Amino acid sequence: MKIRILGSAAGGGFPQWNCNCRNCHGVRTGSLRATPRTQSSIAVSARDPAAWVLVNASPDILAQLKAHPVLQPARQARDTAIGAIVLVDAQIDHSTGLFMLRESTRPLPVWCTDHAFEDLTKGNPIFGVLGHYCGVDRHALQPDGGAFELPGTQGLTWRAHAVTSRPAPYSPHRESPQPGDNVALEITDEASGRTLLYAPGLGEVEPHIADALARADCVLVDGTFWTDTEMIDLGLSKKRARDIGHLPQSGPGGMLEQFARLRPAVRRILIHVNNTNPILDEDSPERAQLAAARVEVAYDGMEIEL
Q: Site residues (CB under 6 A) for ligand MLT? A: 10-11, 91-93, 201, 244-245
Q: Does 7 participate in binding Mn ion (rule CB under 5 A)?
A: no
Distance CA 239, CA 259 (A): 25
Site size for Zn ion (CB under 5 A):
5
Contact indicator for 97, 90 with CB cutoff of 8 Å: no
Which window, 77-85, 92-100, 231-239, 240-248, contacts Mn ion (CB under 5 A)? 92-100
Distance CA 169, CA 125 (A): 14
Alpha helices in the chain (DSSP H): 22-29, 61-67, 92-95, 114-118, 126-130, 207-215, 230-233, 255-260, 285-292
Which window, 63-71, 89-97, 107-115, 129-137, contacts Mn ion (CB under 5 A)? 89-97
Q: Does 93 participate in binding Mn ion (rule CB under 5 A)?
A: yes
User: Which residue lies nearest ligand MLT, judged by its C-beta?
Assistant: 11
192: amino acid identity, one letter: S
Among 16, 56, 80, 91, binds Mn ion (CB under 5 A): 91
* Nearer to Mn ion among residue 93 and residue 189 (C-beta): 93
92 binds, among Zn ion, Mn ion, ligand MLT, none (CB under 5 to 8 A by kind): ligand MLT
197: amino acid identity, one letter: L
Q: Does 222 participate in binding Mn ion (rule CB under 5 A)?
A: no
Give the x/- contact pattern for Zn ion in 12-51, rule: CB under 5 A: ----x--x-x--x---------------------------
Distance CA 245, CA 240 (A): 9
Strand segments (E) across the chain: 2-7, 41-45, 52-55, 82-86, 108-112, 136-140, 144-148, 156-162, 183-189, 194-199, 218-222, 267-271, 295-297, 303-305
Distance CA 107, CA 302 (A): 29
Site size for Mn ion (CB under 5 A):
4
* Nearer to ligand MLT among residue 11 and residue 278 (C-beta): 11
Q: Does 11 participate in binding Mn ion (rule CB under 5 A)?
A: yes
Q: Is 42 helix (H, G, I), strand (E, B) or coil?
A: strand
Which window, 10-18, 59-67, 115-123, 124-132, contacts Mn ion (CB under 5 A)? 10-18
Q: What is the contact surface with Zn ion in residues (CB under 5 A)? A: 16, 19, 21, 24, 275
